[in-house]
A and B are shown apart, each in its own frame.
Chain A
């Protein structure tokens, strides 16, 4: 059972203060996105000046559409883990999504995710950790600094994007709950609520959407818990308010709109693996040498290249092999796909 009663200890008593994260700003930001969902876009006026003042290095990202509707996140650091490849447009990233909770079509999430209420948002931490319970999202985020991580995203459907995420290394978040030595895996769950997520009325997957990582994968510095993109609060269709980003794995591992995190001793069941175990493995590392049973994984279509752009070769671990290949030494990646 993942849902637990709130523990006696409040996270504010455990988690240290930080200069980087301003709780008020996250509250403002999250309420802005909630207000947006309700159709009051006036509540989400951008504050450009403040970002310029606090950001050490403002990245020059091409903004092809007006994304001012989403509240800007402040104090976002840049990261050495970011790729120098040009990011996809905000429009592409927010209009072409796989988020079956809002429908099966790629444009369904953008059209239908407005019904998701991202504030208040709480996350239940359970399992093999010293600190467990249900916590407000802002309490979980408060002690940590936000970073921009421009990552390649490779979907199992053989398309890819480059996304400028904003988030916190998952390890930083997990460590604050003090996982025990029994914690060998971390399991994640998406919200279940048919009214907010109308796609859940269809039984296309067995809800809630579930994902999992080994503790080594979860603690790897590349693994990110994202709350924003393009310097702004995450749009609902991209998994607001809190989503995983594991850039060397196929996109379906990067679970969206997370409400539960559980530290586990055994490998947790995961949604696509349960749905079609011969097509989607637990590891799901990007691997051009292991084809999907029905299509090739050797190449990928980079979104945004236009009609005549050729596909590009897919790289092992989505190009992050140098950082992560050692996690899998001795593991047969053909069998453990």
Chain B
């Protein structure tokens, strides 16, 4: 019988390793929550969870958006194998962030949630990102990709929007010190710059060929 495991070691060992590494923050916070590791969630556990999941959500979204720039810089196409998984981990942590907000922070008080979404711009931004991520998660399977064809790509360009919305959401939320959201903004800008630079480079030789 032919082994179902992929032959390429990057795929065979890399994917499970990256999966476990991506799950590590969730495992860690679970251990802290149940008092098995760390020093507990602190005096305001809801805030701790909210910040923890929000931060990791944003980090994974940026890591997911870094895959294409990495491929462009290194020329190694194997990076692509990790893109969906990392993007889904981004969606996973953002979903936990949203659920902590909805259930623990707001206590499922829907009038308060609705007021937040309508009145407070940073929550409006976050909510749009959650909706986009949900749509991308549902359509992340190979079957959905085939079925949607060209529209799949259009929808999944939403990842860029989610990156911008996430950083913006964080920026508007902080009380005073914008250092951390600024770091995320710089990272996001660098990623966009690499794509833009690479696209320009690719377009030039094409033009050269046409004239030559």
- Residue positions of A touching B, CB distance < 8 A: 88, 91-92, 95-96, 100, 104, 106-107, 157, 159, 202, 204-205, 275-276, 291, 294-296, 298-299, 301, 303-304, 306-308, 310-311
11 pairs from A and B in contact (CB 8 Å cutoff): A88-B43, A92-B43, A95-B43, A96-B42, A106-B43, A157-B175, A204-B176, A276-B176, A294-B172, A307-B45, A310-B109
Please state if A296 and B175 are interface contacts (CB–CB under 8 Å): no
CB distance from B127 to the nearest CB of A (A): 15
Asked if A299 meets B112 with Cβ closer than 8 Å, knowing A204-B176, A275-B176, A308-B104, the reply is yes
The distance in angstroms between the C-alpha atoms of A104 and B177, with both chains bound, is: 8
Asked if A96 meets B175 with Cβ closer than 8 Å, knowing A310-B107, A311-B107, the reply is no
Please state if B172 and A304 are interface contacts (CB–CB under 8 Å): no
Instruction: Tell whether B189 is near chain A: CB-to-CB under 8 Å.
Output: no
Instruction: Tell whether B60 is near chain A: CB-to-CB under 8 Å.
Output: no
The distance in angstroms between the C-alpha atoms of A294 and B124, with both chains bound, is: 11
Please state if A159 and B107 are interface contacts (CB–CB under 8 Å): no
CB distance from A99 to the nearest CB of B (A): 13
Instruction: Tell whether B211 is near chain A: CB-to-CB under 8 Å.
Output: no
Interface of A, helix, strand, loop or mixed by DSSP:
loop
Please state if A295 and B120 are interface contacts (CB–CB under 8 Å): yes
Asked if A204 meets B172 with Cβ closer than 8 Å, knowing A106-B44, A294-B122, the reply is no
Interface of B, helix, strand, loop or mixed by DSSP:
helix
Asked if A107 meets B104 with Cβ closer than 8 Å, knowing A294-B120, A294-B172, the reply is no
CB distance from A102 to the nearest CB of B (A): 13
Q: Considering only CB atoms, which chain B residue lies closest to A91 in the complex?
A: B43
Instruction: Tell whether B46 is near chain A: CB-to-CB under 8 Å.
Output: yes
CB distance from A272 to the nearest CB of B (A): 9
- Residue positions of B touching A, CB distance < 8 A: 33, 41-47, 49, 104-107, 109, 112, 115-116, 119-122, 172-173, 175-177
- Residues of chain B within 8 A (CB-CB) of A159 are 44, 47
Please state if A204 and B177 are interface contacts (CB–CB under 8 Å): yes
Most chain B beta-carbon contacts within 10 A, residue among A202, A276, A307? A307
- Residues of chain B within 8 A (CB-CB) of A298 are 112
Please state if A96 and B44 are interface contacts (CB–CB under 8 Å): yes
CB distance from B171 to the nearest CB of A (A): 11
Please state if B112 and A296 are interface contacts (CB–CB under 8 Å): yes
Please state if A304 and B43 are interface contacts (CB–CB under 8 Å): yes
Q: Considering only CB atoms, which chain B residue lies closest to A202 in the complex?
A: B177
- Residues of chain A within 8 A (CB-CB) of B104 are 307-308
Please state if B43 and A303 are interface contacts (CB–CB under 8 Å): yes
CB distance from A241 to the nearest CB of B (A): 23
CB distance from A97 to the nearest CB of B (A): 9
- For the A-B complex with A296-B116, A308-B104, A310-B107 known, give 6 more contacts whose Cβ atoms are closer than 8 Å: A275-B176, A295-B120, A299-B112, A304-B43, A311-B106, A311-B107
The distance in angstroms between the C-alpha atoms of A296 and B175, with both chains bound, is: 14
Please state if A301 and B115 are interface contacts (CB–CB under 8 Å): no
Q: Considering only CB atoms, which chain A residue lies closest to B49 in the complex?
A: A307
- Residues of chain A within 8 A (CB-CB) of B109 are 310
Q: State which of A92, A104, A304 has its C-beta within 8 Å of the C-beta of B176.
A: A104
CB distance from B109 to the nearest CB of A (A): 8
- Residues of chain B within 8 A (CB-CB) of A204 are 176-177
Asked if A301 meets B44 with Cβ closer than 8 Å, knowing A205-B176, A296-B116, the reply is yes
CB distance from B112 to the nearest CB of A (A): 7
The distance in angstroms between the C-alpha atoms of A106 and B121, with both chains bound, is: 25
CB distance from B4 to the nearest CB of A (A): 42
Q: Considering only CB atoms, which chain A residue lies closest to B115 in the complex?
A: A296
CB distance from A300 to the nearest CB of B (A): 11
Q: Considering only CB atoms, which chain B residue lies closest to A311 in the complex?
A: B107
The distance in angstroms between the C-alpha atoms of A92 and B42, with both chains bound, is: 8
Most chain A beta-carbon contacts within 10 A, residue among B43, B45, B120? B43
Q: Considering only CB atoms, which chain B residue lies closest to A276 in the complex?
A: B176
- Residues of chain A within 8 A (CB-CB) of B106 are 311
- Residues of chain A within 8 A (CB-CB) of B112 are 296, 298-299
CB distance from A28 to the nearest CB of B (A): 30
The distance in angstroms between the C-alpha atoms of A96 and B43, with both chains bound, is: 6
CB-CB nearest 4 A-B residue pairs: A96-B43, A310-B107, A92-B43, A104-B177
Q: Considering only CB atoms, which chain A residue lies closest to B173 in the complex?
A: A294
Asked if A301 meets B46 with Cβ closer than 8 Å, knowing A294-B172, A295-B120, the reply is yes
The distance in angstroms between the C-alpha atoms of A204 and B177, with both chains bound, is: 6
The distance in angstroms between the C-alpha atoms of A95 and B41, with both chains bound, is: 12
The distance in angstroms between the C-alpha atoms of A291 and B121, with both chains bound, is: 14
The distance in angstroms between the C-alpha atoms of A276 and B42, with both chains bound, is: 28
- Residues of chain B within 8 A (CB-CB) of A88 are 43
- Residues of chain B within 8 A (CB-CB) of A296 are 112, 115-116, 120
